[in-house]
Structure 1
């Protein structure tokens, strides 16, 4: 989080696009029982209150596993599990109901707080709970009767959306009823994924013990596409722990069923929720359906973003300076890669008969060494082939080695189209590189 006033102002300004983007969106939050007992719980509640003040529609689904374990232990009763599902028999059902009820009450009380001189002052959040979820029994699996352990049968989307439209936070517990009046103990991740899919939520946010997923070197994995997430679960699912595996699986299933993005967020780190939602790179792991970093043809709306990207390179003499007016007239020659509305890479293509100049190749400093420039170059080559271009050429003063690695070879001025030869700037003394497609 920002350390001083100047950093705070800068952070707040940079968060503005995300504030606008999240307004009136629907988020489903998965809060495990462990988070409710953690020291950071009330900070999470404060951040939830902030989201409400920004008109984010929130469904909060809480878990209660440690609370259930404590109740069973006090009663000297123990549960058996099958396929990571608790077998809820008739004797333990009442204890499960008590534990879930206690957890729900704690969460609801925290959300209802409105103390002066605190982040919750004047929050005045309304919390609505109810039978929005209909349950059914899991039944007998592999010969094992799970008894009062159930799964989601359907979600009453109309009444749930009406509650959200009223501005209330909808609080759901991992407990639901069947049409016959039976009570079933559910997995809170099952409730969250079904609800997110049913109400077409914009995000599923799963709180976990760590920051998210790690790669083989222990570094945080910032984002995973659906295929990458599936591969990660297949490769690392057995080693990341049951809780994290459950959260990742919920994220994967929700995206598979239509949710655009799902994010793993630490319940241990103060401000993790806000950092994940209101900064470009966040603090956790994002699983997404579709293309998160979009590569596309530039439009007139991208001019300001391109100028901001290329200005530092122009000042260093790496790129030729372009005015806003020139860029506006040439915008159709550009392709850009944007991430949440921020231009992080760009390139332009100027045809000269069966040759074309590749120009203004730039990547944001925060996103270099990630293969994006190479991806952008591939896209430009595809575009060039569509125009029946046989050779690409470029002029550079400081990035020759990178282009050589991409298959370009050094050429001479006379190798260029005559029109381009006439425009050559001898003061820059740029080197010429050519690639045959």
Structure 2
């Protein structure tokens, strides 16, 4: 083994720990496109689901089978028929859909049953449950077109699903539903996954699809959607990592009705429906990125687009509930000597002096403001940004908020003590001064053995 590996692994594992704590016990509905399975990526995807399950996340899996159904139809010499962006399911297509769904169910169950040593599935022992959780209704006749056995979700048996996942099982839902008369209907995976997420009031709905997410250019120029969507597979074309629900609705209203799953509006319409139905987070991820599911759930920025009812990142003053997050954030910097060690008691006492940046419930940055009103100055201490998000401007955002707080107190200057980041502060208007400049109360606690540099900024 490369000797440097532990030094990379330990900081990385610590960096994902806040996400593990935040997601434990939460319910995620994952919509899996059949294209992922057709591309031969099922085994790795199942391993990632198993890891999420092992970390205490309750998982409901809804799978699609578009390419598998197409293959069955071709084998029978049949062609697909679509209208209004939906498949017309005649009796032959229904038989093919049932065959495709049965084959996929077998493949998925087999993948979850793997337990080879030295693989992520070793010792997983996951119970996979499925059943008649979906009640369907026919699409019927639309504009003179009879959709026959194509259906829409009427109801999801959320009670039965919740009972199953609460026992530790992973629930799988196929894109089939049955009416009260026992008639079978072919459904879309996206409709099933969205309806299940709303019925369960899931914490996340995650679509793992053939698209990368919502392209930034489309958000800015929706009228050029058809042209810009050609860049879906161009890694140089950036995606929107986070889209507010209000912006998603405006974009959806400006886009043409989707005709195929690669159209931007196709997954966006389901994301908007789920968000309006009470699902907190909806994600659109590319299956072509290995480990996309884990990266989206356990890293700050993820790899796809997340649609939320409001922006998740907030800059605010700390509360007592943030003490644990602040301690976890600053501990590595205390251990390497960048910061002076602070006890939990100190932080609990001073928590009202802290400003924090949080994203989706996880604290990624903080700083404290200690005023010395008799000297018309204040100290900014413990400025810390998580290594996973450094370089994105969060440090400057916290600094500006601290400056605003100091000005509101009527203070004239702001000072910091640092041993390693002098140049960062100088670039932002601080000037180096002698430690004797410090207010008398702060000078008495100055640690001369650390030889910290003192920098001051005049507040305008």
- TM score, norm. by length of structure 1: 0.79
Matches within 5 A, 1:31-430: 31-115=32-116, 118-209=119-210, 211-216=212-217, 218-231=237-250, 233=252, 242-243=261-262, 245=264, 246-298=266-318, 299=320, 300-305=323-328, 307-308=330-331, 315=338, 324=343, 329-339=349-359, 340-346=361-367, 348=369, 350=371, 352=373, 357=378, 359-360=380-381, 363-364=385-386, 366-367=388-389, 370-373=392-395, 375-376=397-398, 389=409, 393-395=413-415, 398=423, 399=425, 402=428, 430=455
- Provide the C-alpha distance between the structure 2 equivalents of 1:277 and 1:32, rounded to a whole number of angstroms: 18
Which structure 1 residue ranges, 5 or more long, are not aligned?
405-409, 411-418
- Provide the C-alpha distance between the structure 2 equivalents of 1:206 and 1:47, rounded to a whole number of angstroms: 14
- Provide the C-alpha distance between the structure 2 equivalents of 1:95 and 1:213, rounded to a whole number of angstroms: 32
- The 1:302–1:256 alpha-carbon spacing in structure 2 relative to 1, beyond 3 Å, is same
- TM score, norm. by length of structure 2: 0.76
SS at match of 1:243: coil
- Provide the C-alpha distance between the structure 1 equivalents of 2:174 and 2:355, rounded to a whole number of angstroms: 47
- Provide the C-alpha distance between the structure 2 equivalents of 1:145 and 1:19, rounded to a whole number of angstroms: 48
- Provide the C-alpha distance between the structure 1 equivalents of 2:305 and 2:166, rounded to a whole number of angstroms: 29
Shift of 1:241: 6.9
What's the RMSD between the two structures over aligned residues?
Answer: 4.0
- Provide the C-alpha distance between the structure 1 equivalents of 2:429 and 2:454, rounded to a whole number of angstroms: 17
- The 1:164–1:239 alpha-carbon spacing in structure 2 relative to 1, beyond 3 Å, is closer
- Provide the C-alpha distance between the structure 1 equivalents of 2:368 and 2:254, rounded to a whole number of angstroms: 36
Q: Is the 8 A contact 1:345 1:364 kept in 2?
A: no
- Provide the C-alpha distance between the structure 2 equivalents of 1:40 and 1:206, rounded to a whole number of angstroms: 15
Q: Which moved more, 1:6-15 or 1:233-242?
A: 233-242
How many aligned positions are there?
418
Q: Is the 8 A contact 1:309 1:345 kept in 2?
A: no
Which structure 2 residue ranges, 5 or more long, are not aligned?
218-235, 417-421, 432-437, 447-451
